[in-house]
Structure 1
Amino acid sequence: MHHFDVETLTAGQWLNGGGTTRQIASRPAGDGDFSWRASIADIERDGPFSAFPGVDRTLTLLAGDGVRLTCPGVFDRLLERAGEPFAFSGDLALDAELPGGSCRVLNIMVRRGRTTARVERVTGRVAPPAGRSGVVYVLGGRWQAGTDGPVLAPGRGVWWDEDALAPGGAVVPLSPDASALWADIAPAG
């Protein structure tokens, strides 16, 4: 498993200046034609979201007062509860509005036809399924990745590739207030 701490990931400015992105992982690495990508975005002002044709996205609020995503005639959704995933097509031209100021989100993107993703809030043990990739992001409490892994606090997590021979064991909660987001990323079809 690969460990990460959001605060040590390099932040890159969006082309439209509306925020920054900290990439957790992209597979294949360094390839603009990714099969899947996980990142943390800090949305700093109202404005358009970039379209990603052929990509399915899941956005989950991590911090802040929320973000309203709108696509006229398709949906108008206010993400106001931290840890509640929202899936949508990256083909759509979206606008984002920040009713309470800047916010932080987890962004999982998968290339349609190659991979699928299911993102859920978990409070119990996560055992990486064989042949699948994944990301666990700690929302609250303390967690441990594998039997010898470091203790993970909020803002930290782990990710693994589908071809890992042994993903390193389960990610387990260590405290009663433990909660995390788990993105289970599987090959399509």
Structure 2
Amino acid sequence: MNGVQRFSRTALPAMPWKNGGGTTQEIASWPQGAGLDSFGWRVSIATIAAAGPFSVFAGVDRSIMLLEGDGVRLFTHDGRIDHRLDVPQQPFAFSGDDVIDCTLLGGASNDFNVMTRRGQWRADVRVLARASTIEPAPHGVLLALRGEWRLNDEACREGAGMHWADTAQAWQAAPAHEDARLLVVRIVPA
């Protein structure tokens, strides 16, 4: 998976969860072909359609962000975490070691997820609303959340994006309209 790869949300295959509570569309993982117990990092979009527990990923740092829908309440039974994920485009970070339960705040929602193996990788997840220079990172993902963007002179329409591995490059990101939003994930060594 070296170099920059383009993707579209509509073309990503959806894999059902074991518990039947939703589906996942994997955007990218590294190293390529790594399973859920051996990835260094993984980026995906999940549809949460039913209440239930989140999978535990020991030794993994996670970040989740609401894309569309009513959202969910994430909580631990000991009260350490109680978070309403109901505002789109605001990342929420937590440990994959935590036993987290989830209840729907309405209908199904779509969420963006980043998982990085603690001690190996860390992710910087943010949403851009204006023209910016994105600092180089050896791995990462860009996704046009709203509107069209110019990314190093290439057009990137809403719902499309790019991911890369082992290719540290800076990006010049410019929105076509002032209400455009771009999701930026920079994955760097821990």
Q: TM-score, normalised by structure 2?
A: 0.91
Code of the aligned partner of 1:173 = P
Within 5 Å, which residues of 2 pair with 1:50-89?
50-73=55-78, 74-89=80-95
Deviation at 1:125, TM superposition (A): 3.5
Structure 2 residue 179 is matched with structure 1 residue 160: no
Structure 2 residue 144 is matched with structure 1 residue 138: yes
Paired residue secondary structure (1:170): strand
Structure 2 residue 116 is matched with structure 1 residue 113: no
Question: Counterpart of 1:9?
Answer: 12
Per-residue displacement from partner, 1:86-137 (whole Å, max 9, x unpaired)? Answer: 0000011111111211000000000000000121111133544334311112
Question: Counterpart of 1:49?
Answer: 54
Per-residue displacement from partner, 1:156-181 (whole Å, max 9, x unpaired)? Answer: 211122x216x474332121111122
Per-residue displacement from partner, 1:30-87 (whole Å, max 9, x unpaired)? Answer: 1121111100000011111100011000000000011110112211100110000000
Paired residue secondary structure (2:10): helix
5+ residue gaps in structure 1?
none
Q: Tell me how many residue pairs correspond in the alignment.
A: 184
* Contact 2:130/2:178 (<8 A) preserved: no
* Contact 1:145/1:151 (<8 A) preserved: yes
Q: TM-score, normalised by structure 1?
A: 0.91
State the alpha-carbon separation in 2 of the partners of residues 152 and 123 from structure 1.
Answer: 15
Question: Counterpart of 1:175?
Answer: 177
**Structure having the larger proportion of residues in strand:** 2
Q: In the superposition, relative to structure 1, how do residues 126 and 30 fare at CA in structure 2: closer, same or farther (>3 Å)?
A: farther
Moved over 2 A (4+): 124-132, 167-172
Percent identity between matched residues is 41
Question: Counterpart of 2:28?
Answer: 25
5+ residue gaps in structure 2?
none
Code of the aligned partner of 1:174 = A
